[in-house]
């Protein structure tokens, strides 16, 4: 089964988890884009939809959904998103598409965070995928120097601005053995909006597609 087929399989499997009157949060990325194409099949079950990015919002609207702000719903019943890497504790690196801050906000404000991936995203240790950090532009050099002190190699994401008007530093050379500790440490650097480690807001459920089909797992405690 190729990667695209796996993405379709795992995206379609989400439909079985949508309940009546769902207040649904939608993330960003290639697998989520596929999910959005399937969502009209269960549109009658979805009362409201909140989106993590302008791109996802456009795609949702193109598929017949009205997208509302988080402040108008208060709490999401479920939030569905992908990951760039995910470990057995369902801690992730996210932000390859640059929407990490809004994704983290929605993940925090949901009753259940469901992560959907193909099995290539499952890792034993986070960090092979460069860690994105959203930074207020004036702090670029200062944040980069702090990250270098931690052993990382920050690279400015060229010709890219987040939906919040900020820049992204992609940090290479991190092997993240303590995701929760590093997430907090980076977020304490002045000028950092947030970083792409989702350990404080790890997934509650993982749907992963492999050659054997779609597997469901929960965090190992």
Measured distance CA(153)–CA(188) in Å, rounded: 18
Beta strands in the chain (DSSP E): 22-26, 46-51, 78-81, 85-86, 92-93, 113-118, 131-135, 153-156, 167-172, 192-195, 197-198, 205-210, 213-217
Q: Is the alpha carbon torsion for 9, 11, 13, 15 positive or negative?
A: negative
The catalytic residue positions are 103
Tokens, residue 100:
């990490």
Residues 33 and 14: their CA atoms lie apart, in Å, by 13
């Amino acid at each position: 089964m190729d990667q695209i087929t796996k993405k379709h399989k795992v995206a379609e499997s989400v439909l079985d988890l949508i309940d009546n009157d769902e207040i649904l949060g939608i993330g960003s990325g290639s697998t989520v884009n596929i999910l959005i194409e399937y969502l009209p099949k269960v549109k009658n079950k979805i009362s409201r939809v909140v989106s993590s990015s302008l791109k996802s919002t456009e795609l949702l609207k193109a598929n017949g959904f009205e997208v509302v702000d988080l402040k108008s719903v208060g709490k999401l019943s479920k939030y569905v998103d992908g990951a760039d890497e995910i470990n057995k504790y369902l801690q992730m690196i996210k932000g390859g598409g640059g929407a990490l801050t809004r994704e983290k906000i929605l993940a925090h404000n949901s009753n259940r965070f469901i992560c959907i991936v193909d099995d290539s995203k499952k890792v034993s240790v986070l960090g092979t995928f460069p860690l994105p950090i959203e930074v207020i532009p004036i702090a670029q050099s200062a944040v980069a120097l702090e990250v270098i002190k931690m052993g990382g190699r920050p690279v400015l994401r060229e010709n890219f601005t987040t939906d919040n008007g900020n820049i992204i530093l992609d940090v290479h050379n991190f092997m993240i053995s303590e995701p929760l500790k590093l997430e907090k440490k980076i977020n304490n650097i002045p000028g950092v909006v947030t970083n792409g480690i989702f350990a404080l807001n790890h997934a509650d459920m993982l749907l992963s597609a492999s050659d054997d089909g779609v597997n469901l797992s929960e965090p190992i405690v």
